[in-house]
């Protein structure tokens, strides 16, 4: 599978804003500053498509992108940033929980991006739990595999595989392109099914 054309559709805060027609959706979840936007941009090979901010917690909408007129890529707000106000953190948590479980959103694959140099965090595990409770197929994407010590990255990827043996875990680098082909193959398989 190769991606040819990607365009921004809209930012969504609730069911009334969902794009029409509904298409299979691949949704990306991840902590603030985990490199989720960079991972998306590397996947679609478009710099600046998914925008990151120097101020974590700035994105509050679920941003929809049309991919080749066949499926949607959804970029969700980052979670787990402690410097946000309690109100803002609760608002983001509610939005993520709604989106993860919304029956009207045909999420075929939920990609949880984590920092391979740091390993899975409790907030990542909570997100996986919410997604699984909603019946979503979860893939764990260990981004920043080119950062940190090689042994640490390898151990964190192995630990994620051990914790979630029934989920695909991919070692990924937005910088080097490691894991892109594997991620595209999984997306292609889930979009067609």
**Residues 41-88 pLDDT 10s:** 999 998 877 765 544 445 578 999 999 999 999 999 888 665 556 776
Range of the domain at 112: 6-192
Q: Confidence band (pLDDT; 50, 70, 90) for 15?
A: confident
Q: pLDDT: is 54 or 129 the higher one?
A: 129
Percent with pLDDT over 70 in the chain: 90
Residue 13 covered by a domain: yes
Per-residue model confidence as pLDDT tens digits over 82-123 = 555 677 667 777 878 888 888 888 999 999 999 999 999 999
Q: Rounded to the nearest 5°, which phi and psi values hold at 41?
A: -60, -40
The helix/strand/coil state of 180 is helix
What is the Cα Rg of the chain in Å? 15
* Domains of the chain: total: 1
Determine, yes or no, domain membership for 83: yes
In a domain, residue 118? The reply is yes
Domain membership flag for residue 115: yes
CATH number of the domain residue 149 falls in: 3.40.50.300
Distances (CA, A) of 88 to 15, 16, 62, 108, 146: 20, 21, 15, 28, 32
List own/partner pairs for 90-93 with CB under 8 A and 24 or more apart. 91/60, 92/57, 92/60
Examine residue 29 and state whether it is found in any structural domain, yes or no. Answer: yes
Residue 1 lies in a domain: no
């Amino acid at each position: 599978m190769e991606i040819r054309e990607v365009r921004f559709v809209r930012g969504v805060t609730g069911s009334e804003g969902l794009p029409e027609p509904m298409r299979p959706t691949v949704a990306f979840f991840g902590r603030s500053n985990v490199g989720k936007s960079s991972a998306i941009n590397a996947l679609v090979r478009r710099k600046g498509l998914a925008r990151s901010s120097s101020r974590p917690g700035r994105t509050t909408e679920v941003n929809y992108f049309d991919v080749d007129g066949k499926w949607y890529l959804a970029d969700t707000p980052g979670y787990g940033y402690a410097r946000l106000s309690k109100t803002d953190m609760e608002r983001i948590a509610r939005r993520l929980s709604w989106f993860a479980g919304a029956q009207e959103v045909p999420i075929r694959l939920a990609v949880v991006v984590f920092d391979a140099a740091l390993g899975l965090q409790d907030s990542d595990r909570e997100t996986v739990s919410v997604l699984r409770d909603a019946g979503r197929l979860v893939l764990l994407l260990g981004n920043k595999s080119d950062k940190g010590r090689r042994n640490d990255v390898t151990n964190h990827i192995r630990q994620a595989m051990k914790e979630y043996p029934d989920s695909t875990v991919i070692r990924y680098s937005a910088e080097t392109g490691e894991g892109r082909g594997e991620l595209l193959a999984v997306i292609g398989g889930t979009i067609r099914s």
